[in-house]
Structure 1
Amino acid sequence: MRSYDDPCGVARALDAVGERWALLVVRELLLGPKRFRDLSRTLPGISQNVLSQRLRELAAAGVVRRRKLGPPASTSVYELTEQGADLEEVVLALARWGSRRPVPAGRDLSADALVLALRTTFQDGPDCHLELRLDDDTFTATIDSGKFSIRRGAADQPHAVLATDPRTLRSLVFLGAPLEEAERSGALSVTGDRGVAERFTHCFPRPSA
């Protein structure tokens, strides 16, 4: 990696995470560890060679580490170090800033990228507890006293469960697609309180430019 050779904190930060794809790798690890193949799947625009290189560079910078899981998994995952986790607010701030930029046509958001979009656009909503099943990923979303939180994993006694894919959920929360239409097409399944599910999709207005 080339260095800016500049003592400014911004330059020193970019020395560590300023290479192309580096912060997107961090984004994909903010909600927890992932296997190499899962990172490759959720970052389809990056070659496996470049992904391997970025992971090595981020590990050398103390941002990412590789950890071996014990049986029965017996596989390796990549996760953020404590320093890497400190980048969360940086990534969220960039997401808020970028949400006002034009949306490019092409690939869909990954599940983790969509979760960050929900976090950065949440405005307000009634208290609720939901489970979001986005393809192979499951998240617990909670609104409590006007504060929104979301984490990876199944919800305990959710008010509603939405089973769909990132593209459909994005169209519901950001493009105003009707819940009923997504259900009729088979792209969405809602169990539990449909009213809660409907209100949840209206809590994330797209920011104006």
Structure 2
Amino acid sequence: MAARDYGQYCNVTRALELVGERWALLIVRDLLVGPRRYGELAAGLPRIPSNILAARLKELQEAGVIRRAPRSRVVLYELTPYGRELEPVVLALGAWGFKAMGEPREEQIVTPDSMTIALRTAFRPRVAADLPATAYAARFGSAELLIRVDGPALDVTRGDGPVDLAFAAGPDIRGLISGELAPDRAIATGVVEVLRGPGDLLGRFANTFHLAA
């Protein structure tokens, strides 16, 4: 049953009844990255009350969007095939929201899952198809990601591995992704700190990941 009934027979209304409650799409966002334990979902959404997280998980299960997937002694939550159909919706919503992000507030954080979806949103496979395969190690606050681009294929994971360029950046990397800040300027102003590898590869990163502000 939907948590909210808008009293309209409409496909958009029905979609909002299923995933329009607060936090619901953020749970879907994180599960698009991969299955998660309850505690991992809570850690990725640090402001969600535990009772609300439990309620949203129950509602999304009843709607057929997610399911519990027992693995040994651990219970994971994962998207169903129906739930995975939300991926282009979430990416499109992210691209739309990017235009209105503005400056980050002091209390706002970046999580590995949110940054993974941001990179998927900004990824330009047609551009990447003409560039050499490149691996990046990126640290965005506490989020550390291994980003592999091979032609039109993108793989973003947590962990270590051989990379061509390692860099650290804060929320101001938005200027690089939007094209408002040139790669060399991003390095010169400290928006991006090159940790290892040739800094000129940041230009390739900026060409590969781009969203209009």
TM, length-normalised to structure 2:
0.75
Residue in 2 that maps onto 1:86: 85
Per the TM alignment, residue 57 of structure 1 is displaced from its structure 2 partner at its CA by: 0.7
Matches within 5 A, 1:1-209: 1-70=3-72, 74-103=73-102, 105-106=104-105, 107-123=108-124, 124=127, 126-132=131-137, 134=139, 135=142, 138-144=145-151, 147=152, 149-152=154-157, 158-160=163-165, 162=166, 164=168, 167=171, 173=177, 176=181, 178-179=186-187, 190-192=195-197, 194-197=199-202, 199-201=204-206, 203-208=208-213
Contact persistence 1:122–1:204 (CA under 8 A): yes
Name the aligned partner's letter for residue 99 of structure 1: F
- Report the Cα distance in structure 2 between the residues aligned to 1:77 and 1:85, rounded to whole angstroms: 16
Q: Indicate the SS of the match to 1:65.
A: strand
Q: Secondary structure at the match of 2:6?
A: coil
Q: Note if contact 1:35-1:77 (Cα within 8 Å) is conserved in structure 2.
A: yes
Contact 2:137 / 2:163 at 8 angstroms: preserved in 1? no
Cα RMSD for the two superposed structures = 3.1
Alpha-carbon distance in 1 for matches of 2:170, 2:88: 23
Residue 76 and residue 33 in structure 1: after superposition, are their counterparts in 2 closer, same or farther (change >3 A)?
A: same
**Runs of 4+ that moved beyond 6 A:** none
> In the superposition, relative to structure 1, how do residues 140 and 102 fare at CA in structure 2: closer, same or farther (>3 Å)?
closer
* Contact 1:130/1:142 (<8 A) preserved: yes
What residue ranges of structure 2 are gaps of 5+ in the alignment? Answer: none
Q: Matched residues in 2 for 1:148 and 1:80: separation?
A: 22
Q: How many angstroms does 1:88 deviate by?
A: 0.1
Give the conservation status (yes or no) of the 8 Å contact 1:173–1:204: yes
CA deviation after TM superposition for structure 1 residue 178, in Å: 3.7
The TM-score with structure 1 as length reference comes to 0.76
The code of the aligned residue for 2:81 comes to E
Give, in angstroms, the shift of residue 90 of structure 1. 0.6
* Equivalent AA in structure 1 for residue 116 of structure 2: V
Encode CA deviations 1:105-131: one digit per residue, 9 max, x unaligned: 331232222222222234545333314
Matched to 1:127, the amino acid is P
Task: State the alpha-carbon separation in 1 of the partners of residues 158 and 201 from structure 2.
Answer: 20
* Deviation, structure 1 residue 14: 1.2
Greater mean alpha carbon deviation, residues 41-50 or residues 104-113: 104-113
| Unpaired segments ≥5 residues, structure 1 | none
Aligned length, in residue pairs: 199
Tell me if structure 2 keeps the 8 A contact 1:100–1:207.
Answer: yes
Using the alignment, how far apart are the partners of 2:69 and 2:80 within structure 1? 11
CA contact (8 A) 2:33 2:117 kept: no
Q: Percent identity?
A: 32
- Look up the SS of the partner of 1:30 in the other structure: helix
Deviation at 1:86, TM superposition (A): 0.7
